[in-house]
Amino acid sequence: MRTKATELVGIDVPIFAFSHCRDVVAAVTNAGGLGVLGAVAHSPEQLDIDLRWIEEEVGGRPYGIDLLVPEKFVGSDQGGLDRDTLLSLLPVEHQEFLEDLLTRYGVPPLPDDVEFGRGMGGMRVDPKSMAPLLDVCFDHRPRLVASALGPPPAHFLERAHSAGVPVAALAGSVDHAVKHADAGADLIVAQGSEAGGHTGLIATMVLVPEVVEAVGSVPVLAAGGIASGRQLAAGMALGADGAWCGSVWLTTEEAETSPAIRDKFLRARSGDTVRSRSMTGKPARMLRSPWTDEWERADGPGPLPMPIQPLLIAPAMARIARVSDKAGTGANDLATYFVGQVVGSMNTVRPTRRVVQEMVEEFIDAVERLARLLETD
Ligand SMILES: Cc1cc2nc3c(=O)[nH]c(=O)nc-3n(C[C@H](O)[C@H](O)[C@H](O)COP(=O)(O)O)c2cc1C
């Protein structure tokens, strides 16, 4: 299959896979798509290790790296507040709410020797943590770099383009897509509201054709709600040059999803997700759980903005994750993770390569079925 997007990065099938797991990234690339490593929570050292590993595994085939390179965030207008300053800004009311929540659900404190994530609560979204990640990124040979949360900044575009690397940008609205294209993005990921992770309010079905019309010759990928070949065909029928998928890889054999979360995903229905600010401070789609419900409570303080919310909850997340594998516990109930509405069809654990193969086979069936509708005799 050849589209503007496959030509841009040199792949055989128009499937782009966002994953935090290097094994998934390598497996998708080796199956003919483009694995894109989500690196926002990586330390520079770990990113270097993972990229070396991926390059070894894929033997010259293309892969990508995704970073959250934000235009603005709390503190950036004051020259970028560091972690300690941000920690001192955590309101007492929120700290008390969280401690009370964990106590009510019987989540034990962390032992003294357990680390719970560095940077901004595990997310490296501030300029200070981002710089060394960018250095590692461009010391390697990605075929695509992607940036979410706002138009790719000029310094990022210049650096990528001078290294000959195209830049993808995620957009949840037409306005965002146009801004990204105007800024110089080479590929727009039109991500509908049903997607896992940070997401807007417009559904993929509505967003993709609008974005395709609005950005002219810039290739567009459809994202949000694509986990099968029929959905891939639908995205391409809407004018996209391929699909960008995130959720579907979370229940693959290679995924590093924790057993508690994987089991919840395998059982979940498509109506079991919610857009919540409770993890990052920005609306992100995740599995609904008592955690997301508690943060919605009218008598609670509500989530803080990014990046303070991730900083606030990092120790709580580590406390929950440490004991959440035990079914029937409060920690297991609270456990949640980013996932899109396609979670309802993620009902089996398959090898990543097979997911790609089945998507391609089902895509061909779907296109042939549609073509038969036009046969006259
Ligand atoms: C667990 C998870 C984490 C995500 N984190 C990021 C991220 O750090 N950066 C990003 O650009 N997109 C992120 N996304 C969004 C994906 O890149 C992708 O657009 C989305 O998953 C597509 O919709 P789908 O989940 O229906 O496949 C994440 C998605 C999931 C499921």
Tell me how far the alpha carbon of residue 376 lies from the centroid of ligand 1, in angstroms. Answer: 42
Contacts of 132 (CB under 8 A, 6+ apart): 44
Q: How far is the CA of 19 from the centre of ligand 1 (A)?
A: 8
Q: Which of 281, 282, 362, 264 is nearest to 273 (CA)?
A: 264
Beta strands in 39-87 (DSSP E): 63-68
State the sign of the Cα–Cα–Cα–Cα dihedral 27, 31, 37, 43: positive
Q: State the residue for tokens 């609306």.
A: 283
Residue 96 alpha carbon to ligand 1 centre in Å: 31
pLDDT value at 37 more than 70: yes
Q: What number does the ligand 1 atom closest to the CA of 223 have?
A: 22
> How high is the pLDDT of residue 150?
84
* Nearest partner of 35 among 353, 358, 357, judged by Cα: 353
Closest atom of ligand 1 to CA, residue 40: 8
Over residues 54-89, the pLDDT tens digits come to 999 999 999 999 998 755 444 444 445 677 788 888
Per-residue tokens: 210: 């609008």
Res 79: pLDDT: 47
**138 vs 308: CA distance, rounded Å:** 28
Lowest mean pLDDT among 12-21, 90-99, 146-155: 146-155
Q: What is the pLDDT of residues 300-332, one digit of tens each?
A: 999 999 889 999 999 999 999 999 999 999 999
In percent, the amount of the chain with pLDDT more than 70 equals 93
- Span 122-181, pLDDT tens digits: 555 566 667 889 999 999 999 999 998 788 999 899 999 999 999 999 999 999 999 999
Which atom of ligand 1 approaches the CA of 342 most closely? Answer: 26
What is the reported pLDDT for 116? 60
Q: Which phi and psi angles does 4 have, rounded to 5°? A: -60, -35
pLDDT at 208 over 60: yes
Q: Which of 350, 25, 351, 354 is nearest to 11 (CA)?
A: 25
Least confident of 132-136, 283-287, 289-293, 336-340: 132-136
Residues 230-255: tens digit of each pLDDT: 999 999 999 999 999 999 999 999 99
Q: How many helices (H) and strands (E) does the chain have?
A: 15, 11
Residue 242 pairs with which residues in a beta bridge?
Answer: none
DSSP lists the bridge partners of residue 167 as 145
Which secondary structure element, helix H or strand E, spans residue 169, and what is its range? strand 167-171
Q: What are the φ and ψ backbone dihedral angles of 252, each rounded to 5 degrees? A: -80, 165
pTM: 0.94
- Cα–Cα separations (whole angstroms), residue 193 to 16, 100, 233, 347: 18, 32, 19, 21
> Is the CB of 18 inside a 6 Å radius of any atom of ligand 1?
yes
Banded pLDDT at 193 (limits 50, 70, 90): very high
In this structure, are strands 197-198 and 220-223 parallel, antiparallel, or unpaired?
unpaired
> What distance in Å separates the CA atoms of residue 141 and residue 122, rounded to the nearest whole number?
25
- Mean pLDDT for all residues in the chain: 92
Confidence at residue 368, expressed as pLDDT on a 0 to 100 scale: 97
The answer to whether the CB of 196 is under 6 A from ligand 1 is yes
